[in-house]
Amino acid sequence: MAPFSNEGSGVMEGLAAALARALHKLNSEVDVPAVVGAAIQYVAREHGGVNLCFPVSAEGAGRRSDTKARRDGFIAGLKAEVIRQLVIRGCDQDRREAAGAAAVASVLTAFSGGSVYIPSMAAYRQAEQHAAIVSRYRAGERTHEIAASCGISERSVRRILQRSRERNRREGRNWKATTDRP
């Protein structure tokens, strides 16, 4: 059995390579890197922070029900996302189904006999949220409104804004510090 891989970026790169190999026949029809990128984002969003085991043989596939359920959900979701991305890009149904099946087969082959950890994208999501908070604040929205819509405290919003100001000062950008008072 292949060793457990806790190297998050390596797993995602391996997954991207497996998907690219499976979809290479569609290069002339669709933007394969865009399909692969969207599939990787889906995996990180829906399955981030999860360990998955990929058995070498079919008899090893159903030993633990929780592991099997996670793996089966991962595979079904990945196939559905690849097909969804191909629908968006106008690929015909037969080619979509074949590409989805090829993507699943390629991923199963690439990770066969190993356990992999799908890295969580919490830091990326948090950075996106912080950028949105700063943008909304600069657009004139009040901190208590931002806090309520984001489900965080007003103090947290102020800390995010303060860190953004400090980062901009360090980087030499001019960001006018404004107050949030009526």
Instruction: State the DSSP string of 81-95.
Output: HHHHHHHHTT--HHH
Average pLDDT over residues 145-164: 93
Q: Are both 57 and 16 inside the same structural domain?
A: yes
Average pLDDT over residues 156-163: 94
Q: Are both 97 and 128 inside the same structural domain?
A: no
Rounded to two decimals, the pTM is: 0.60
pLDDT at position 70: 84
Output the CA torsion 95→97→102→107 (10° steps): 140
The single residue listed with the structure tokens 């309520």 is 148
Q: Are both 127 and 114 inside the same structural domain?
A: no
Q: Are both 16 and 58 inside the same structural domain?
A: yes
Average pLDDT over residues 32-36: 89
Domain range enclosing 136 = 123-170
Domain total in the chain: 2
The answer to whether residue 2 is domain-embedded is no
